[in-house]
Amino acid sequence: MNEVQEVANRIVENVELVIIGKHHEIQLTVIGLLAQGHLLIEDVPGVGKTMLAKSLSRSIGCSFKRIQFTPDMLPSDVTGVSVFNQKTREFEFRPGPIHAQIVLTDEINRATPKTQSALLEAMEERQVTVDGTTYPLERPFLVLATQNPIEYEGTFPLPEAQLDRFLLRIRLGYTEKDDEIKMLDSQQYQHPVDRIEQVTQVEDLLNVQNKIKEVFVDPLIKSYIVELVRQTRRHPDVYLGSSPRGSLALYRTGQARAATLGRDYVIPDDIKALATSALAHRIIIGPAARIKDVDARSVVHEIVQGVPVPGAQALSR
């Protein structure tokens, strides 16, 4: 797994030239990329969500498109539209911005549910259907969606079916004082995103994505993953627990994390480190718990603390 680790480290180090002081969050983003999943970046404006997507696309040499979602946007503005050509007397398909390898959907919750649903087929099946014709999307394909968690006027909350299609939810947060000073210094003359270069080839990335599937997952680890997800469905503060996609997300991202750390096997610490990012957005907190300010992240943390790891189970027998 040295090849996977080398590619991941190069990407992380390159992105860190732009996004300063967010090593863990950048690592999560790369894990999502290697695991072939989509990412929801939820945070306040100005913390670097757009720059993260741009620097990631430049690091791997992929095509990049940005969609600024607004309430008046139509599904065809995302997927593309068929236009009648007067010369050939035939309809021609003009692809929309979703036809790129890395797609940043900025403020996704500002679009109407009808437009949001235009992303569902693309995210799940890596294809787009327009006027009865299906167009496959180029690989690798990654959707980086952003939303502001504090501004609700003029927004449409993402439905559970859409949230469930995001592999991980990431929060960047504010930078520390020293890191913010470094950011000011780095942008004195030119934005660092204009200086970063491609550090890996698309073919190498696709090869690494396939290698991750070879990482060994012990049956005890699989049982641990499923038990964590099952506990989200039984927790008294949870109205609706995680779907089986949550188990798949933990399984695949666990493999990716192990490979980026140079291991060809998954350990319980991989799963524990990813549980909150992979499961919290798949949980609906009950009304009574919401009144007490219970959030999904704290519920997942409590579950992780309460479910014994496989090693502890083996010792107790």
Q: What is the pLDDT of residue 230?
A: 94
Please say whether the beta carbons of 311 and 271 come within 8 A: no
Q: Which residues of 135-165 are buried (b: 16+ CB within 10 A; e: fewer)?
A: eebeebbbbbbbbeeeeeeebbebeeebbbb
Query: What is the rounded average pLDDT for all residues in the chain?
Result: 88
Handedness of CA 236, 238, 239, 240 (dihedral sign): negative
Most confident of 14-23, 38-47, 177-186, 217-226: 217-226
User: Is residue 1 pLDDT above 80, yes or no?
Assistant: no
Q: What is the pLDDT of residue 250?
A: 95
User: Is residue 117 pLDDT above 80, yes or no?
Assistant: yes
How far apart are the C-alpha atoms of 129 and 72, rounded to whole Å? 21
Average pLDDT over residues 257-262: 93
| Residue 305: burial class (beta carbons within 10 Å; 0-12, 13-18, 19+) | exposed
- Please state, for a pLDDT cut of 90, what percent of the chain lies above it: 38
Q: What is the pLDDT of residue 152?
A: 63
Question: Which tens digit of pLDDT belongs to each residue from 160-199?
Answer: 888 888 999 998 888 888 988 988 888 888 888 888 888 9
Average pLDDT over residues 215-222: 93
**How many Cβ atoms are within 10 Å of 94's Cβ, its own excluded?**
12
**CATH numbers and ranges of domains, the chain:** 1-212 (3.40.50.300), 214-317 (1.10.8.80)
User: Is residue 276 pLDDT above 70, yes or no?
Assistant: yes
Question: Which tens digit of pLDDT belongs to each residue from 278-317?
Answer: 999 999 988 888 888 888 899 999 999 999 888 654 433 3
Contacts of 200 (CB under 8 A, 6+ apart): 7, 10, 11, 59, 60, 61
User: Is residue 91 pLDDT above 70, yes or no?
Assistant: yes
Question: Which tens digit of pLDDT belongs to each residue from 141-169?
Answer: 999 998 877 766 667 888 888 888 899 99
**How many Cβ atoms are within 10 Å of 272's Cβ, its own excluded?**
18
User: Is residue 38 pLDDT above 90, yes or no?
Assistant: yes
User: Is residue 229 pLDDT above 80, yes or no?
Assistant: yes
Average pLDDT over residues 228-234: 93
